[in-house]
Amino acid sequence: MKIGVVPNNDEFDHPADRRRYVHYLNKSGIIFEKANFNKDYDFLYVSISGNLALWAKYKERYRNSKNKPKIIFDLSDDLLKDTWLKNFLRSILYFFQGKNPSFFLSYKQIIKKMIEVSDQIICGSEEQKIDLNKLHQNVVVMRESVSQEIFFKKRSYKLVRKNEIHVFWEGLSHGNAECFNHLKQILQGLSGGKVHLHVVTDPLYCKISSKLNCTQTYSLLTDIFKNTDIYFHLYDWNLVTFSAICSACDIAIIPIPNDPVMMCKPENKLLLLWEIGIPVVTTKTPSYERVMRGADLNFFGSNMNEMIQKTKTLISSEKVRLAYMNNAAKYLNDNCSDNKINKLWNEIFTKDKV
């Protein structure tokens, strides 16, 4: 079985790489390589960050061949939800970055072409699958495998320190200034003790893509949280320390700005934090609401006041936090086991499924 992969980055260490096909293939002892357009493969796995305009042409040379490759397109970000302006700007940016050999007015055109030539589409949520089913007949929702990245789990649900609240946030810093501002508003609405925000992210914050108009994340956070009583603690993302920092906090918050693509993000971050054992308050997005309701929980808010009230409820009682995590643990056991995830990967990397 010859597998070529177009990764999200060349080191294969992007979360969407290492928590998905990399984990499965390595665990299964299956060899793969960074895809070369001029080589023949049994399976071609294309990530959303790849040069889609190029790889959409890969199958053309197999038009008259009986042994066609199986092309798997991982549409981990729902860029089809981009506004027309962001869609146009993304086309310009990717062209000048060299990700597209030709200029297209709409990046969505390239994505749809990649969908058209693929044999299987992978996405992150049931909501995204419903939309993609209109474009392709073979769409699979794939959970991320995160157990290998968790070295510490939360065991106690007493507050870390009396009269203090320790809140956790994790993610890419790029373009997330609005998330940090939402965190500030939520945390300013709390009372009853000192508030500490623990942020695990990149040292650089970039407004455009992950390379342009950049500044130090520490400077950004200092500016956002100045003149508040919120103490922020910044940590570089590290595989070993990530779960230790998270498990040492009381709760986590995932605020989502009113952006079409971000509102359509799958539930991966919520499930990851639950795996570590920390209770989470989220913005009411379709995926987060579905998962919360599936766990018989309602710690999501559709506006700032609701987010503040849900957070207050969660920090009000050790019993509330413990009951929350009992529900979350049951949901994970029923829906996110390694066996279920590996079974799906086995089906994806089976040629006769084409």
Once rounded to an integer, what is the mean pLDDT over residues 212-238? 90
3-state secondary structure (DSSP) of residue 176 = coil
Say yes or no to pLDDT of 353 above 90: no
| pTM of the predicted model as reported, rounded to 2 decimal places | 0.88
pLDDT tens-place string over residues 251-292? 999 999 988 888 998 999 999 999 999 999 999 999 999 999
- Cα 63 to Cα 55, 58, 117, 118: the distances in Å are 15, 10, 11, 14
Q: Give the CATH H-level superfamily of domain 148-335.
A: Glycogen Phosphorylase B; (3.40.50.2000)
DSSP 145: P
Rounded Cα distance between 41 and 35, Å, is 8
More confident residue, 206 or 234: 234
Domain ranges of the chain: 3-143+337-353, 148-335
For residues 140 and 122, the answer to whether their CB atoms sit within 8 Å is yes
Mean pLDDT is highest, among 45-59, 83-97, 266-280, for 266-280
Return the pLDDT at 80: 77
pLDDT digits (tens, 9 = 90+) for 97-135: 666 666 667 778 889 999 999 999 999 999 999 999 999
What is the 8-class DSSP label of residue 298? Answer: -
pLDDT at 351: 74
Mean pLDDT of all residues belonging to the chain: 90
Residue closest to 318 by CA, chosen among 133, 157, 97, 122: 157
Q: Are 194 and 231 in contact (CB under 8 A)?
A: yes
Residue 143 vs residues 23, 68, 149, 271, 342: alpha-carbon distances, Å: 12, 27, 15, 9, 10
Q: Which residues contact 303 (CB under 8 A, 6 or more apart)?
A: none
